[in-house]
Amino acid sequence: MTTNPLADALAIRATASSFDAQRGKLPVPGDPHRLPGSVAVAKQISELGKLITELGDEVLFRTVNREHGSRTSPAVFSFSAAVRPAGEAASALGEVAQQLAFLERTEHLHDRPDTRDAREAAGRVIDGALGTADTALRQAADSLHAASTAVSPPSSRLRAALGRTATPVDEAAPATPAAPASATALAPRTVRGR
């Protein structure tokens, strides 16, 4: 298992994108006539379970494979921090699935006043749970995106900029001897992309 910063950043970014994708699959709350499908919600719970397992695997593999006496990597911290909001999202979707099952089970009783009230309450619970899932998935994705940026190794341009010394403009820089023409022709050229 590699533990270099670039590989860690890419793994964290890929996981963040998975959470963004899960968030994009959430049903939109608030429309009582367009409840989410119970099969779609069950699939999303299953997919979130797989994501939670992947988070656990990332933490486990990085923890087991670290060198003796070395500190825990920022990637371990990032992956483990995402477990809580991922679990909250899965739990909220579990609540949605439970309320959808209740609505399906009581469909034939929708004309009874007491059942009507309970069914309306179930709709409100579904909306609240979808909002909770959305917030939790956004939190997981945002924290992972921020972590991937923090873990990423600095670009070659940034390293070059940090390596230069800053000298005030009004200070005269010592003159450097001119290089012979043959030396400048052989010197490697730096190509900068935009």
Ramachandran class of 193: left when φ > 0, alpha when ψ lies in -120 to 50, beta otherwise: beta
Q: Where are the beta strands (DSSP E) in the chain?
A: none
Return the structure tokens found at 81.
Answer: 């921090």
The stretches of the chain forming alpha helices (DSSP H) are 5-25, 38-64, 74-105, 113-151, 156-163, 181-186
Residue 5, pLDDT score: 81
Residue type, 114: D
pLDDT tens, residue order, the chain (194 aa): 446 788 889 999 999 999 999 999 998 776 656 778 999 999 999 999 999 999 999 999 988 887 766 667 889 999 999 999 999 999 999 999 999 999 999 988 877 878 888 988 999 999 999 999 999 999 999 999 999 998 876 665 545 555 665 544 444 444 444 444 444 444 444 444 43
